[in-house]
Homo-oligomer: A and B are copies of this chain.
Amino acid sequence: MAVLTVGSIALDNIKTQTEEHTGLLGGSASYASVSASFFDRVNLVGIVGSDFPKQHIQLFQERQIDLSGLQIVEGKTFHWAGQYEADMNKRHTLHTELNVFETFTPSLPPSYRGTPIILLGNISPALQIHVLNQIERADFVIADTMDLWITTTRPDLLELLKRIDLLVLNDSEARQLTEDENLVRAGRKILDLGPKYVSIKKGEHGCLLLSRTEFFSCGAYPVEQLKDPTGAGDTFAGGLAGYLASLQKSQITFADLKRATVHGSILASFCVESFSLERLKILSRNELNQRYAFFRAMSHFDE
């Protein structure tokens, strides 16, 4: 099967307490696509400017990512600059330039319109709906979101939630969306808004997956040297979506989603070990398998 990913493609400047890098490949679609590509074919939808480095295009090509849906237009690529505090859960945006992204209203290539697994990466809900409207049929639709859309475009987000299978968001966003401090109750309130499943990411504490009748608590890999958390959430969603695509099933079960959550968490745990996509670029199948075995041992207690 295949997974369609849509989102931003960016050139990032990132500053941590110990390092500073400029012109890094970033954006939700970049992280999600490369992550998903470890499991299945990826149909990328995105936009970049004429300044976008060839080497980044090559990376997508090496990962066998279909670029029919990538627009390259005159102008500058979306740019984001951010800084992390010593506590890397705390991030400040220093600068955002939308550039060519401002006019992004993708028209999907006909070959993309039957993609069975859809990952609507973190872009405005209106744009996510615009993409979803062009899909002829999909087996499973995943959407990511962020605090900005919850605050500024809530009606669009609520419309989107009625049309997706799984919403992925972090703990503070789940609390913000539902105005409930208790994450389990917040998760149930999100299910009442439409999606069949919700995945609440908790950073170093792992994540929760809820359906109306089932519950999964996924731990986080014990990362001791976190280098750069940028893109971890997108990488998580990409790995999850890619794994689902690789199952080649039209009916996704809760058990499938549990394993998909673990695969997403594993990809994210590698992502944060380096800046940008540096770690994912050199990641091997063998390393993924080893970390899957580690996750199994750190989570299973009765066998």
Confirm or deny: A302 has a beta carbon within 8 angstroms of a beta carbon on chain B: yes
Confirm or deny: A23 has a beta carbon within 8 angstroms of a beta carbon on chain B: no
| CB proximity of A195 to chain B, nearest CB, Å | 18
A173-189 with Cβ < 8 A to chain B? 181-185, 188
- Chain A interface category by residue count: 35 or more
| CB proximity of A88 to chain B, nearest CB, Å | 9
| CB proximity of A175 to chain B, nearest CB, Å | 11
Q: How far does the alpha carbon of A206 sit from the alpha carbon of B204 in the complex, in Å? A: 12
Asked whether B298 lies within 8 Å of A300 as measured between CB atoms, the reply is no
The 8 A CB mask of A198-210 against B (1 = contact, 0 = none) is: 0000101110100
Q: What secondary structure prevails in chain A residues at the interface with B?
A: mixed
Q: Which residue of B lies closest to A208 (CB)?
A: B222
Asked whether B217 lies within 8 Å of A301 as measured between CB atoms, the reply is no
Asked whether A303 lies within 8 Å of B301 as measured between CB atoms, the reply is no
The 8 A CB mask of A264-303 against B (1 = contact, 0 = none) is: 0000000000000000000000000000001111111111
Asked whether A185 lies within 8 Å of B216 as measured between CB atoms, the reply is no
Q: List 7 A-B contacts (CB under 8 A).
A: A86-B181, A184-B222, A215-B294, A259-B301, A296-B302, A299-B299, A300-B300
